[in-house]
Amino acid sequence: MKSAETPLHKVQGLGAAHSGTGHFWRERVTSVALIPLSLWFGFVMLGLVDTNEVVMVQFLAHPWNALLMAAFAVTSLYHMSLGLQVVIDDYVHTAGMKIFLLFAVRCVVIATIATCVFALIRIASV
């Protein structure tokens, strides 16, 4: 059967969703970045548990630690946005509900990223 795809559409390789492998690739890039960031995060959480607020502020106020924690939070939340989108794409079949949930997830993710970064700046500036 002759393809109904135009030659331009074919070479662009973006498919029916107009984003090609973009979502898949972003999910992989964030997951690879999260391997070292998660190891660092685990090391930090074990090191800070059972201490107190003063120790945590002192640790998180250090520029490198603040930067790494921000990187962990932002990368995790972006990865979370991509992952939850797949869950919604798979299970929600009505257009209205799908658009609402995708919008809600992005709102929560952006708000949480902003909250984490703001809290880290506030901790560092005490």
Partner 1 sequence: MADIPQKTGHVRPLSPHLTIWRWQVTMLASIMHRATGMALSAGAIVLAWWLVSISNGPEGYDSFMVYAAMPLGLVVLFGFTWSFAFHFFNGIRHLAWDLGYGFDKHFATRTGFLVLALSFLIAIGVFAFVWTGHAGYLR
- Using CB under 8 A, list all residues that contact partner 1: 28, 31-32, 34-35, 38, 42, 44, 46-57, 59-60, 69, 73, 76-77, 80, 83-84, 87, 93, 108, 112, 115-116, 118-120, 122-123, 126
Smaller CB distance to partner 1: residue 102 or 108?
Answer: 108
Task: Specify the DSSP element, H or E, that contains 84.
Answer: helix 63-91
Residue type, 104: A
Smaller CB distance to partner 1: residue 12 or 115?
Answer: 115
CB of 3 to partner 1, least distance (A): 27
Backbone angles phi, psi at 58, to 5 degrees: -60, -45
Smaller CB distance to partner 1: residue 22 or 47?
Answer: 47
> What is the CA 16 to chain-centroid distance, rounded?
24
In angstroms, the CA 111 to CA 74 distance is 11
Structure tokens at 23: 């979502």
Smaller CB distance to partner 1: residue 1 or 90?
Answer: 90
